[in-house]
Amino acid sequence: VNVAEVVGHTLARLGVAHAFGVVGSGNFEVTNALRANGVPYTAARHEAGAATMADAYARMSDRVTVVTVHQGCGLTNALTGITEAAKSRTPLLVLAAESAGNFRVDQDALALAVEARATRVTSVETAVAETVEAFRTAVRERRTVVLNLPLDVQRLPAEPAPVSLPQVETVPPEGAERLASLIEGAERPVFIAGRGARHARRELLELAERAGALVATSAVAHGVFQGEPWSLGISGGFSTPVAAELISGADLVVAWGCSLTKWTTRQGKLLTGTVARVDVDPDVRPTVLGDVAEVASRTQVPARTGYRTADVKSRLDSAQWTYEDLSDGTRIDPRELSRKLDEILPTERVVAVDSGNFMGYPSAYLRVPDQYGFCLTQAFQSIGLGLATAIGAALAQPHRLPVAAVGDGGFLMSIAELETVVRLNLPMLIVVYNDSAYGAEVHHFGDADMTTVTFPDTDIAAIARGYGLHARTVRALDDLGGLTFDRPTLLDAKIASDGGSWWLQEAFS
Ligand X SMILES: Cc1ncc(C[n+]2csc(CCOP(=O)(O)OP(=O)(O)O)c2C)c(N)n1
- H-run or E-run covering 353: strand 349-353
Q: Distance between CA 357 and CA 444 in Å, rounded?
A: 9
Toward ligand X, which CB reaches closer, 20 or 438?
438
Residue 498's closest CA among 362, 358, 339? 358
Toward ligand X, which CB reaches closer, 347 or 381?
381
Number of residues that bind ligand X (CB under 6 A): 19
Order of strands across the sheet that contains 401-407: 374-375, 349-353, 401-407, 429-434, 489-494, 470-474
Toward ligand X, which CB reaches closer, 350 or 383?
383
Residue 503 is a binding residue for ligand X (CB under 6 A) = no
Which range touches ligand X (CB under 6 A), out of 22-30, 66-74, 273-281, 403-411? 403-411
Toward ligand X, which CB reaches closer, 45 or 136?
45
Residues 47 and 169: beta-carbon distance below 8 Å: no
Residues with Cβ < 8 Å from 362, sequence gap 6 or more?
338, 341, 351, 353, 403, 405, 431
- Kindly tell me the burial class for residue 55, based on how many C-beta atoms sit within 10 Å of its own C-beta (0-12, 13-18, 19 or more): buried
Residue 494's closest CA among 455, 446, 452? 455
Which range touches ligand X (CB under 6 A), out of 163-171, 182-190, 292-300, 351-359? 351-359
Q: How far is the CB of 411 from ligand X (least distance, A)?
A: 7
Residue 439 is a binding residue for ligand X (CB under 6 A) = yes
Q: Which of 209, 245, 441, 498 binds ligand X (CB under 6 A)?
A: 441
Residue 238 is a binding residue for ligand X (CB under 6 A) = no
Which range touches ligand X (CB under 6 A), out of 116-124, 226-234, 369-377, 429-437? 429-437
Angle formed by the axes of helices 73-87 and 47-61, nearest 10°: 30
Toward ligand X, which CB reaches closer, 153 or 437?
437
Q: Distance between CA 323 and CA 17 in Å, rounded?
A: 44
Q: Which residues of 450-462 are buried (b: 16+ CB within 10 A; e: fewer)?
A: eeebeeeeeebbe
> For residue 333, which phi and psi values (nearest 5 degrees)?
-65, 125
- Determine the 3-state secondary structure of 288 from DSSP: strand
Toward ligand X, which CB reaches closer, 49 or 410?
410
Q: Which of 78, 190, 388, 437 binds ligand X (CB under 6 A)?
A: 437
Residues 111 and 118: beta-carbon distance below 8 Å: yes
Q: How far is the CB of 241 from ligand X (least distance, A)?
A: 22
Which range touches ligand X (CB under 6 A), out of 43-51, 183-191, 269-277, 430-438? 430-438
Residue 52 is a binding residue for ligand X (CB under 6 A) = no
Q: Which of 88, 218, 264, 355 binds ligand X (CB under 6 A)?
A: 355
Residue 376's closest CA among 115, 59, 69, 99? 59
Q: Which residue has the closest beta carbon to ligand X?
A: 407
- Kindly tell me the burial class for residue 479, based on how many C-beta atoms sit within 10 Å of its own C-beta (0-12, 13-18, 19 or more): middle
Q: Which of 230, 238, 365, 438 binds ligand X (CB under 6 A)?
A: 438
Toward ligand X, which CB reaches closer, 138 or 341?
341
Residue 64 is a binding residue for ligand X (CB under 6 A) = no
Q: Which of 440, 469, 471, 474 binds ligand X (CB under 6 A)?
A: 440
Of 374-393, binders to ligand X (CB under 6 A) are: 381-384
Toward ligand X, which CB reaches closer, 257 or 334?
334
Toward ligand X, which CB reaches closer, 258 or 383?
383
Q: How far is the CB of 405 from ligand X (least distance, A)?
A: 10
Which range touches ligand X (CB under 6 A), out of 157-165, 208-216, 298-306, 354-362? 354-362
3-state secondary structure 174-223: ECHHHHHHHHHCCCCEEEEECHHHCCCHHHHHHHHHHHCCEEEECHHHCC
3-state helix, strand, coil in the chain (%, to 5): 40, 20, 40
Q: How far is the CB of 355 from ligand X (least distance, A)?
A: 5
Which range touches ligand X (CB under 6 A), out of 10-18, 97-105, 257-265, 350-358? 350-358
Residue 452 is a binding residue for ligand X (CB under 6 A) = no
Residue 386's closest CA among 433, 334, 343, 341? 433
- Kindly tell me the burial class for residue 370, based on how many C-beta atoms sit within 10 Å of its own C-beta (0-12, 13-18, 19 or more): middle
Of 133-162, binders to ligand X (CB under 6 A) are: none
Q: Distance between CA 271 and CA 248 in Å, rounded?
A: 6
Q: How far is the CB of 364 from ligand X (least distance, A)?
A: 14
Q: Distance between CA 381 and CA 378 in Å, rounded?
A: 5
Residues that bind ligand X (CB under 6 A): 355-358, 381-384, 407-410, 433, 435, 437-441
